[in-house]
A and B are shown apart, each in its own frame.
Chain A
Amino acid sequence: MRLDILNRGYSPATRLLFALIRLFSGHPVPDAAKLVFYRPDFYGARAKEFTHEAMRGPSAWSVGDRELMAAYVSKVNESAFCIAAHTATARRAYQDGPMVAAVLADLESAPVQEPLRATLRMLGKLTAEGKLSAEDMREVLSAGVSRQQVKDALAVCVAFNTTDRLSDAFGFEVLSLEGFEAGAKYLLKRGYR
């Protein structure tokens, strides 16, 4: 990562934990995980809490839907690490790689339900343009998305607009395909806490 403190600034206990993770998983600790261990009282502790709530807390959206939203928002932000990580997680959650690939290639022709398509379109516009009109939101609601689902989707969008920026600014190392698969497995089993 671009700051030495994020590569080497960890306590001995944290370094031991990283070594154990590497030993048992067979993969180095991803930079996304390392970041939240650096001075966790400043960012990591509360960021994990918020992200976990958005991605795994109660919602009418499935875990797969929310992982797909994370991948889609990351695609709009061109965030290489997060696109790969959440594409792998969405694929695994849905057990449907072709559908996930289709959404990321062309949302409008992808085989997804209209409520999800309208929501992804709205999140993409908000991410790219920084604003939305009431009309944009009415289109989502008239596609059959509840107000609560809109709020839940916005929380996912906010969590990943933060993570995408940190990933690219700090320069998270892009993992091997196996590394991303291992990460996806972990995120589905344990979440973000």
Chain B
Amino acid sequence: MPDEDKKRAAHRALVDRILNGEGRASAEQRARAFGNEGLSPPLDTLMGKVVTTPAQVTEADFAAAKASGFSEDQLFELVICAAVGQSARLYEAGLAALAEATVTGEAG
């Protein structure tokens, strides 16, 4: 379906840009933020909250990350990578459940 392809394609373009395009944070750091794994303290706290409990992010989480040497532009990118990463996993999980449901159920 062309419309569905357009939504997925637009999402892929976003993911591809933030991970593989030019950035102030290294591609490796962005990939780690996206996957929420392999991050060192205190950045791991901020990124973990963005992924699991975003409403609990505080000024202090940003202050600690800045004090450890990250610039605001790097944190801008890394927070976006963490948020888009979690959402991308939800997309995959939802589409996988749909595929499984329609393989064993009726196609439609």
Could you list which residues of chain A lie within 8 angstroms of chain B, going by C-beta atoms? 2-6, 9, 38-39, 41-43, 46-47, 49-50, 53-54, 57-59, 77-80, 122, 126-127, 130-138, 141, 146-148, 150-152, 154-155, 157-159, 161-162, 164-171
Contact = CB atoms under 8 A, between A and B. Distances in A.
B104 interface: yes
Nearest to B15: A46
Classify the secondary structure of B's interface with A. Answer: helix
B101 interface: yes
Interface of B: 1, 3-4, 6-8, 10-11, 13-14, 17-18, 21, 23, 46, 49-51, 54-55, 57, 59, 62, 72-73, 75-77, 79-80, 82-84, 86-91, 93-95, 97-98, 100-102, 104-105, 108
Contacts of A42: 17-18, 21, 23, 76-77, 80
Contacts of B57: 2, 168-169, 171
Classify the secondary structure of A's interface with B. Answer: helix
B79 A50 contact: no
B4 A151 contact: yes
A58 B3 contact: yes
The 10 residue pairs across chains A and B that have the minimum distance between CB atoms: A165-B83, A137-B101, A134-B100, A168-B54, A50-B10, A132-B97, A46-B14, A161-B87, A154-B94, A134-B101
